[in-house]
Amino acid sequence: MNLRPALFLDRDGTIIEDAGYLADPGGVKIIPGAAEALRKAKDMGFALIMISNQSGVARGLYGLEDYHTVTRRMEELLEEEGVRLDGLYFCPHHDKGTVPEFTLFCECRKPSPGMLILAAKEHGLDLESSYTIGDKPSDIGAGKAAGTKTIFIRGEGAEPPYGRPDTEPDYIARNLPRAVEWIFENLSEEKIKEKRSSMP
């Protein structure tokens, strides 16, 4: 079976503006240029998989239905721009939560790679040729643990996760559009090298 590469995408601060523990779908705003970047990635053959920590559920700041309502609004806005995500995964757990059923340590909460590994199995994805993109060290940690390449979104004032091998990204981008541009540039360079190596 031919496995597809994927972009594993954090939600808040990567696809939509980070508004803290967002429970109101009216507060969903797609980051400028993000939809166009995702269309370009899909045209390049990448599956688009959202992977999001949602500890607000465990902390009692919003419920599961609030999470789903916000995420559906994000999907609606992306679809208006011609983008459909291939998979949506989230972790509602936190070991220091206040809601008993969600207060636990799990293998799906980033930086653990559980969501990526599950998505790879369910969607037939090639982790080695995939990229994890997010604005937190935990995104980079999860991507590296799963065996993907990693891109840290610096955004406004976010400090790059330097100094720790488990969270050192392959690239630091100011936003998702620049991250996808970098992927495209690297793929183009790889194709050029392949052609040159096959020349007599």
Q: Which of 12, 66, 135, 139 is catalytic?
A: 12
Q: Is residue 66 among the annotated active site residues?
A: no
| Alpha-carbon gap, residue 89 to 184, rounded angstroms | 25
Q: Which H helix or E strand runs over 193?
A: helix 176-198
Q: Is residue 95 among the annotated active site residues?
A: no
82-112 exposure pattern, b = at least 16 Cβ within 10 A, e = fewer: ebebbbbbbbbbbeebebeebeeeeebbbbb
Q: Which of 10, 66, 135, 139 is catalytic?
A: 10
In order, the DSSP letters of 110-122 are TTS-HHHHHHHHH
Residues 131 and 8 sit within 8 Å (Cβ to Cβ): yes
| Alpha-carbon gap, residue 170 to 104, rounded angstroms | 31
| Alpha-carbon gap, residue 89 to 1, rounded angstroms | 23
Catalytic residues: 10, 12
